[in-house]
Amino acid sequence: MKSIVHVIGARPNYMKIAPLMESLKVRSPFRQVLVNTGQHYDDIMSQAFVRDLGLPTPDYDLGVGSGSHAVQTATVMIEFEKVCQKERPDLVVVVGDVNSTVAASLVSAKLLIPVAHVEAGLRSRDRTMPEEINRIVTDRLSDLLLTPSADGDTNLIAEGVPAEAIHRVGNIMIDSLLRHLPMASLDRIRERIPVVDGPYAVLTLHRPSNVDDADVFTRILTAVRTIAESMPVVFPVHPRTRQRIREFGFDGNFAGIVLHDPLGYIDFLSLTSHARLVLTDSGGLQEESTALGIPCLTLRENTERPITVTHGTNQIVGTLTDAILEGFRRASSPAAPQRRPELWDGQTADRITRVFCDFLSR
């Protein structure tokens, strides 16, 4: 029996692998192996995501943990090579743009194991972002490039990738979102987070460029405090961000902002799906808010997901206080109804399964 090894390293990976593993289980004859590198090393949160998404217990947990980009990538490579030598898979599946993704791709390519990259072709054109380097390298090493939207195809063709290696399958994050949306009621979280059915905003921040620079962080918080005068702002705080808040002495800078610990997948979907506005530096939340039709202000200077701007609800507002507030004013105005981008329909995992069946049968 042919085997497929799936690699997850950070929590956004979980939402992409879960529907694919379920589809392959139902519709293919392949043996599946799940490897968790442990790049996101909060055990409680990781277990919550595995439970919420119905993922099986990983067959391997590499326990990589934190470290510099070089240390984390190198450690994943050392440990993942052992898995590949033991399992001898016919295909390795990597998702997204984290360090685990590029590390597993490098190991597989050097062992002559085919690589499939789910969410291929995304580009921000900003090489100061470590994720951009990971995306470029992973796509160069991959045999199957599974793109979420037409811009991904265009980027890859411009970079010389053969057209026959590119498969536009849609956005697999939306598979997970649509599957779990019926469970995502405000009642799930109301006792823990004081939200009501009226308007409120959700804020997430985790990128080093935003939270490691006290001046940038201050500009963002100044804008968010002003927005909080119009509607409550709920802020599930990433561990890295909470550490910076303590280091910078920002504990008193959150008037009108409700701080909370990170949430599991369905609880967070319960929070965001009922919000009036999202402010974020996350790529995945740009996509989810577009699928939900909720205005999103992206606190970055660029995005690797331009379809969320051209076809969705996203505005790229940067980190200057006035620009964020101008984006808030635009988002508060009535907007034309938005349609989900093509193939963001909850069927992406099944399309990927068909690609894998065809590839491995050859």
Residues annotated as catalytic are: 206
Strand runs (DSSP E) across the chain, as ranges? Answer: 3-8, 31-36, 60-61, 91-95, 115-118, 144-147, 166-168, 201-204, 233-236, 257-260, 277-280, 296-298, 314-316
Residue with tokens 């920002």: 250
Cα distances (Å, whole numbers) of residue 91 to 33, 117, 130, 132, 143: 10, 11, 25, 24, 10
31 CB-contact burial (10 Å; exposed 0-12 / middle 13-18 / buried 19+):
middle
**Helix (H/G/I), strand (E/B), else coil: 106:** helix
Are the beta carbons of 115 and 141 closer than 8 angstroms? yes
Number of neighbours of residue 216 by Cβ within 10 angstroms: 18
Rounded distance, CA 205 to CA 240, Å?
Answer: 9
Strand runs (DSSP E) across 130-252, as ranges? Answer: 144-147, 166-168, 201-204, 233-236
Rounded distance, CA 138 to CA 97, Å?
Answer: 8
Token output for 7: 């690699």
Rounded distance, CA 48 to CA 139, Å?
Answer: 30
Token output for 270: 């319960």
Query: Diameter of the chain by CA atoms?
Result: 61
Put the strands of the sheet holding 31-36 in their side by side order.
60-61, 31-36, 3-8, 91-95, 115-118, 144-147, 166-168
